[in-house]
Amino acid sequence: MKILLMEFIGYKEWTESLGYDREWKIQDIQSSIYKVVNDEISRVGGFALPVRYDGLIILADGIPNKHLLEIYTKVKEISPTKINACIGYGKTPREAEINAHNCILNSLSDEPKFSIIHDENVVACHFDYNNFTSLTHELSFYAAYMRVMRLYSKLSESIYDFGGISQYLGGDNMIAFIDEDTLDKIIKIVENMDEIKVGIGIGKNARSAMAGATRALDEIRSKREDKWKIVKFST
């Protein structure tokens, strides 16, 4: 598993430079940066986890380094701060992110460190809460959101224990990226949880894997017999 980690250096100081009436400005600038990142990384088949805004966690398997460097250059152009960037490798996404982070911690310059690392398949798990729309009508928008967040926070802990990394994507959706060897653990968890189903996609890059996961979810919905399905996506 390969992860490109980008750190916005001095982000705290940048935010404080905006004065007290700053939160709206921070949200505005963060969303414009994320839009550029999302457009650029999707174009080359990757996915950026918006887990935080003072750093980007990019699933980099299946993306040539030259494209990763182009994205780094683009983000550097629009970033309010200097950027540090490293590619980390690990058997699991968790290890890859930790290794990329250690590379950034140990780097003595803000020159990007993009070692050549072999590509591996990406495995994306798209979790979906059953009948979230009717739950929302029954409770309220916010109460339904709280219900899902409580469940996904426990689920993301278990996924991290297996070496996966996950991200809430809004509505009743959570995506997780895992190592292919932990597929059976994920399936076992979902089989023991009544409220959710999971579409699993395997692809040469994050975008293909996520498309496969979404297609797997649609196939589950078409018959409503299974709690999980795996689709290998090969675009």
Ligand X SMILES: Nc1nc2c(ncn2[C@@H]2O[C@H](COP(=O)(O)OP(=O)(O)OP(=O)(O)O)[C@@H](O)[C@H]2O)c(=O)[nH]1
Interacting residues toward ligand X by CB under 6 A: 128-133, 169-173, 214, 221
Kindly state the smallest distance separating residue 81's Cβ from ligand X, in Å.
Answer: 28
Residue number of the CB closest to ligand X reads 171
Measured from the CB atom, the residue of 109 and 222 that comes closer to ligand X is 222
Query: Judged by CB, which is closer to ligand X: 169, or 183?
Result: 169
212 burial via Cβ count (<10 Å: 0-12, 13-18, 19+): buried
Report the residue number, 5 or 124, with the smaller CB distance to ligand X.
Answer: 124
In terms of DSSP bridges, do strands 122-129 and 165-170 run parallel, antiparallel, or are they unpaired?
Answer: unpaired
User: In the complex, what is the shortest distance from the CB of residue 168 to ligand X, in angstroms, rounded to a whole number?
Assistant: 9
DSSP 235: -
Distances from the Cα of 229 to the Cα of 148, 183, 190, angstroms: 21, 11, 11
Q: Residue 66 class from Cβ within 10 Å (0-12 exposed, 13-18 middle, 19+ buried)?
A: exposed
- In this complex, which beta carbon is closest to ligand X, that of residue 35 or of residue 82? 35
**In the complex, minimum distance from the CB of residue 213 to ligand X, in angstroms, rounded to a whole number:** 9
Closer to ligand X by CB, 205 or 214: give it.
214
Identify which of residues 43 and 221 has a Cβ nearer to ligand X in the complex. 221
What separation in angstroms does the CA of 135 have from each of 88, 132, 167, 234? 40, 5, 21, 35
> CB 103 → ligand X: shortest distance, Å?
31
Least distance (Å) between residue 125 CB and ligand X: 13
Taking the C-alpha atoms of residue 54 and residue 84, their distance in angstroms, rounded to an integer, is 11
Q: Nearest approach, Cβ of 215 to ligand X (angstroms)?
A: 10
C-alpha separations of 164 from 10, 59, 120, 203, 216 in Å: 28, 12, 15, 16, 19
Kindly list the distances between the CA atom of residue 189 and the CA atoms of 81, 106, 108, 154, 157, in Å, as whole numbers in the listed order: 41, 37, 42, 11, 12
Shortest distance (Å) from residue 124 CB to ligand X? 11
How many other CB atoms are there within 10 angstroms of residue 153's CB atom?
Answer: 12
Alpha-carbon distance of 113 to 207, in angstroms, equals 24
Q: Which is nearer to ligand X, 182 or 214 (CB)?
A: 214
